[in-house]
Amino acid sequence: MGMKLLYIGNHKDTIHKVKEHSELEVELVDNGFTAYKYLNSKESKALDAIVAETNIPGVNGEELVRHLRIKKTSNIPYLLINGTFSQQDKERLLKQGIADGYGADFNPTDLIERIGFLKAYGGLPVSYQHKETEYKMPIVKRLFDILVAGTALLAISPILLLVVIAIRLESKGKVYYISKRVGTGYRVFDFYKLRSMYTGADAKLKDLKHLNQYSTPAAEEEEEECQECKKLGHACSPILLVDGGEICESFYQKKRREKNASAFIKIKDDPRITKVGKFIRNTSIDELPQLINVIKGDMSIVGNRPLPLYEAEQLTSDQWILRFMAPAGITGLWQTKKRGKGSMSDEERKSLDNEYALNYSILNDIKIILLTVPALFQKENV
């Protein structure tokens, strides 16, 4: 009977070695976010093991496996390949929930036998005690959120009614807007806002990419091939297999950096925004329905902003993963620190998101809420 693997990586020779073995059915993905999406699908129920390369461009295999534990797949064996592992290294891996580590010269038959043994004993050796890493909302923070959100909804209901009428009078369509967002632990949920754009605005986004404040010339003028490889007449770095094609590792990393450079979308004087929409955005009234998300438990009052799917799909490196390990929120550090101060780079936003993920507390949340009020009156809408 065959085994089904989720393989995370893009090393051409290793993928060929694994796929050519008749007993293995291999599902290939090349980054952490795609792995998360696959683990949310029905197909993942039949997995026998998850195998990740030790060095994926932009991602560290050990760190990736640690975060994949959030998908509650502790009964599925995790293994690393294409690394150099001493006995001491393997003991360290076990403490992180990684069942074993293999070098580049591994034998697929040994891999199959190891996975079979691990599955027979519940996925991991008994010496490993799994520690749940999923973010759990502290009771005090949850009670605080419900109290603040409930009180706020009651207090602002007359304002919401007037804004809803204004939106409906100015343009046709629903007065509210629902989109899929990626929040804590990469969980996808329905995100509520008051509609601030004309109906069908999302379809016009491609035509306005040149106005994106986060884009860079490097991202807009993407090269078709590696200039260094072209100059040398051969590959300048190891060849990787990505999306069915071959690419050198150096050029692949460069393309990832350029892709991430415009992951966030923000357009100054966006023509898709209505007159009422401009007002409710500048005053953040359009964000008020997210209080319902808070009551439902999708978000917190304070946290890192949940991202649209098209943005979250770009953020696959270790540097970005940390922001998704904190609660998703209506307001946060970058809303209060950067509002009204012009454009913000990816690096600045990443730094502030990560800072909150590492240091959030009820006291800090209260400080951010108090800073949010004066930030609302700054010129720039964030």
pLDDT of residue 153: 94
pLDDT of residue 38: 81
In a domain, residue 133? The reply is no
pLDDT digits (tens, 9 = 90+) for 273-307: 888 988 998 888 998 999 999 999 999 999 998 98
State whether 160 and 103 are in the same domain. no
For the segment 326-334, the average pLDDT, to the nearest whole number, is 87
State whether 295 and 351 are in the same domain. yes
pLDDT of residue 297: 92
Examine the fold and report which residue of 58, 89, 120 is the final residue of a domain before the chain moves on. 120
Residue 164 has pLDDT above 70, yes or no: yes
Domain tally, the chain:
3
State whether 248 and 357 are in the same domain. no
Residue 132 has pLDDT above 50, yes or no: no
Cβ atoms within 10 Å of 309's Cβ, excluding its own:
13
State whether 174 and 42 are in the same domain. no
For the segment 28-55, the average pLDDT, to the nearest whole number, is 80
In a domain, residue 339? The reply is yes
Q: Is 42 helix (H, G, I), strand (E, B) or coil?
A: helix
State whether 46 and 188 are in the same domain. no
Token pair, residue 345, equals 């780079």
For the segment 181-210, the average pLDDT, to the nearest whole number, is 74
- Express the helix, strand and coil content of the chain in percent, nearest 5 each: 50, 15, 35
Residue 92 has pLDDT above 80, yes or no: no
Between residues 127 and 293, the one the model is more confident about: 293
**First vs last Cα of the chain: how many Å apart?**
55
Radius of gyration of the chain (CA): 23
In a domain, residue 267? The reply is yes
Distance separating alpha carbons of residues 25 and 18, to the nearest angstrom: 9
Report pTM. 0.53
pLDDT digits (tens, 9 = 90+) for 56-68: 765 666 777 666 6
State whether 166 and 197 are in the same domain. yes
**In the structure, what pLDDT confidence band is assigned to residue 137 with cuts at 50, 70 and 90?**
confident
Question: Which domain does 355 fall in, by range?
Answer: 139-215+262-375
State whether 271 and 256 are in the same domain. no
For the segment 269-274, the average pLDDT, to the nearest whole number, is 75
State whether 201 and 281 are in the same domain. yes
CA angle 40, 43, 49 (to 5 degrees): 90
pLDDT of residue 87: 73
State whether 156 and 68 are in the same domain. no
Between residues 142 and 258, the one the model is more confident about: 142
Residue 179 has pLDDT above 90, yes or no: no
State whether 174 and 270 are in the same domain. yes
For the segment 246-272, the average pLDDT, to the nearest whole number, is 65
Q: Say which residue the tokens 């913000």 belong to.
A: 344
For the segment 168-178, the average pLDDT, to the nearest whole number, is 88
In a domain, residue 132? The reply is no
State whether 108 and 143 are in the same domain. no
In a domain, residue 127? The reply is no
